Chain A
Amino acid sequence: MNLETKNLTYEYDAGTTQAVRAVDDISISIPSGQFVGIVGHTGSGKTTFVQLLDGLLKPSSGSVYLDGEDINEKKYDRKSMRAAMGIVFQYPEYQLFETTVLKDVCFGPLNMGLSQDEATKYAKEALLKLGMQEDSYGASPFELSGGQKRRVAIAGVLAMNPKILILDEPTAGLDPEGRDEVLGLLKKLNESGMTVILVSHSMEDVAKYVGRIIVINDGKVFLDGDGKEVFSHVKQLEEIGLAAPEVAYLMQAVHDAGIPVSTNITTVEEAASEILLKFQT
């Protein structure tokens, strides 16, 4: 499903003297199957933006189109839109409420009108994908560790089998291992055809996994392109309080030290092979 925004604008406290334009005239298009990273520092409007994408906020002006249809139109079938678009909020573990893990994950699919059997099937699939084993399904979600809660909460969205998955800082507060697992899963989901939109302030995460990066600053699209293209604007990124991945700086330093390596590099693996190449020759 193709997602598109046109002149999307959102103001908090609209009409008062304290009106804040959190999203300012954003027009982008996200075709089906892309893995997009939305990056911006705290308060740049990225969370507001993804809430607009999912129709949880009504835009002050402009529109969001899902497969060409305006999702804020009165007659629009929001229920099927919610089934098609899943959103995982920041710290999603705080939305758990059921008595058992399995029941909680079933909540979404059941709301979509699936039968109990189907819902259970989808829920189990989703839990397995997130590495939750059968023996924990009967446990209360409140007894789990923080990382496990996070997984159950993400599974709760994944079980709805969305075509588009939006995640707002899904790795915040996770240990490096948990982070790699979640991001790796997203990569796999994307490879199986799901559109994934990852909101993050961590350039490292985004650089490693994402195909396209949209940098948002002050509610506006600041840069939009693939990793190499975006990270070639290191200076501008620093001006708005963001940074390129550490490797980019390292390669720059190596280059400045007189070793003719390419500076157009965004991941540790690429950097390693590039440097090794120079030493071997």
Chain B
Amino acid sequence: MLKDITLGQYYRADSVIHRMDARTKIVGTVLYMVSLFIFNNCICYALAAIFLITVMALSKIPPKFMFRGMKSILFLLLFTVFYNIFLGTGTVIVKFWVFQVTYEGIVNAFYMLVRLFMLYVGSSLMTLTTTPNQLTDGLESLFKPLKIFRIPVHEMAMMMSIALRFIPILMEETDRIMKAQIARGADLESRQISKRIKSLIPILVPLFVSAFRRAGDLALAMEARCYHGGDGRTRMKEMKFAGRDVAAWFVIAGYFGAVIFCGIYFKGFTDYLVAELQTGLELIVAFVKGIG
């Protein structure tokens, strides 16, 4: 039951995006996120959507797999939409108590929805195509300049990879301990909260004991192999900047340039949309009144 949780959410496939250097993907994703937030008009979103769909198609990840985790952000999406529609400012359509529906609010709600959606898909594209280890390696390499400020970048990256590696092991361990205690008659399905919390003790104590034991063993094993931190350490898998990364950088730069251009050139587009929405609604209202 517990073993079904995938680590990160890496999806094994062979594609350009998968083979790309992790650093390119990390920086590219960050730039993409920024691009979603600096401009506020339809044309830019259309560009972002085209970019996203292209990358998705290149990554060979089935769309079904991409949207599987969507449920987790559903609440956030609904909340944002609700907040924007009912608590926006601008030309008021309907008003009751503290809530007011405005034209700007409706347009904003739509923008936010699209924004969050693309943000989610964009960032999961990165985690789906990059293994957690590649990610930590990429982050380590990107944050290397921080060493000047005496921040132990390598050690932090090592901690992160170890933590990631331990997740499935501890999951398995939990499963085993739970079964053992259930077999000894532990009641894990009680409805009473107090009993439920109490029933966690026989699971948590052995779990912590075993986690510390494993951590101790690992430290010893690392020490026995002369691990001494990051200085002078070479890698088994060198990260290489390949032709595809250069191409990717051109694409990203092109995309970013296009977004900036559209953002400035079509600046008034949102106001235009609001005005259109207003006239449209007024027409409908007039029409309904006319019938009445």
Residues of chain A having any CB pair with chain B under 8 Å: 13, 51, 54, 56, 79, 82-83, 86-87, 89, 92, 94-97, 107-108, 111-112, 142, 156-157, 160
**Nearest neighbor of B201 in chain A, beta-carbon distance:** A97
* CB pair B179 A89 closer than 8 Å: yes
Number of interface residues of B (CB under 8 A): 20
Leading 9 A-B pairs by shortest Cβ distance: A111-B185, A97-B205, A95-B180, A108-B184, A87-B183, A56-B179, A89-B180, A97-B202, A82-B185
**Nearest neighbor of B183 in chain A, beta-carbon distance:** A87
With an 8 A cutoff between CB atoms, is B181 at the interface? yes
* CB pair B201 A86 closer than 8 Å: no
Give the CA-CA distance A101 to B177 in the complex, in Å.
Answer: 18
Write out the residue numbers on chain B whose beta carbons fall within 8 Å of the beta carbon of A95. Answer: 177, 180-181, 184, 202, 206
**Nearest neighbor of B184 in chain A, beta-carbon distance:** A108
* CB pair A89 B176 closer than 8 Å: yes
Residues of chain B having any CB pair with chain A under 8 Å: 4, 173, 176-177, 179-187, 201-203, 205-206, 209-210
Give the CA-CA distance A96 to B206 in the complex, in Å.
Answer: 6
**Nearest neighbor of A99 in chain B, beta-carbon distance:** B205
Besides A95-B206, A97-B205, A97-B209, 14 other CB < 8 A contacts? Answer: A56-B179, A56-B182, A82-B182, A89-B179, A89-B183, A94-B176, A95-B181, A97-B202, A97-B206, A107-B184, A107-B185, A107-B202, A157-B184, A160-B185
A269 to chain B, nearest CB (A): 35
**Nearest neighbor of B213 in chain A, beta-carbon distance:** A94
Also in contact, A112 and B177, with CB within 8 A (given A94-B206, A97-B205, A107-B202): no
Residue from B173, B181, B185, B203 within 8 A of A79 (CB atoms): B185
* CB pair B183 A82 closer than 8 Å: yes
Give the CA-CA distance A156 to B187 in the complex, in Å.
Answer: 16
* CB pair B210 A94 closer than 8 Å: yes
Give the CA-CA distance A96 to B184 in the complex, in Å.
Answer: 11
* CB pair A92 B180 closer than 8 Å: yes
* CB pair B206 A160 closer than 8 Å: no
**Nearest neighbor of A142 in chain B, beta-carbon distance:** B209
* CB pair A111 B184 closer than 8 Å: yes
Give the CA-CA distance A92 to B206 in the complex, in Å.
Answer: 11
Write out the residue numbers on chain A whose beta carbons fall within 8 Å of the beta carbon of B201. Answer: 97
* CB pair A54 B183 closer than 8 Å: yes
Could you show 8 A-B contacts with beta carbons less than 8 Å apart? A87-B183, A94-B173, A94-B210, A96-B206, A97-B201, A111-B185, A111-B186, A142-B209
Also in contact, A112 and B179, with CB within 8 A (given A94-B206, A142-B209): no
* CB pair A51 B206 closer than 8 Å: no
Give the CA-CA distance A201 to B186 in the complex, in Å.
Answer: 29
Write out the residue numbers on chain B whose beta carbons fall within 8 Å of the beta carbon of A97. Answer: 201-203, 205-206, 209
Write out the residue numbers on chain B whose beta carbons fall within 8 Å of the beta carbon of A142. Answer: 209
B213 to chain A, nearest CB (A): 9
Give the CA-CA distance A111 to B188 in the complex, in Å.
Answer: 11
Write out the residue numbers on chain B whose beta carbons fall within 8 Å of the beta carbon of A160. Answer: 184-185
Write out the residue numbers on chain A whose beta carbons fall within 8 Å of the beta carbon of B203. Answer: 97
B180 to chain A, nearest CB (A): 4
Write out the residue numbers on chain A whose beta carbons fall within 8 Å of the beta carbon of B4. Answer: 13
Give the CA-CA distance A97 to B206 in the complex, in Å.
Answer: 6
B212 to chain A, nearest CB (A): 10
Write out the residue numbers on chain A whose beta carbons fall within 8 Å of the beta carbon of B210. Answer: 94
Give the CA-CA distance A156 to B202 in the complex, in Å.
Answer: 13
* CB pair B185 A83 closer than 8 Å: yes
Give the CA-CA distance A160 to B255 in the complex, in Å.
Answer: 69
* CB pair A56 B183 closer than 8 Å: yes
Give the CA-CA distance A97 to B203 in the complex, in Å.
Answer: 8
Residue from B179, B185, B202 within 8 A of A51 (CB atoms): B179
**Nearest neighbor of A162 in chain B, beta-carbon distance:** B183
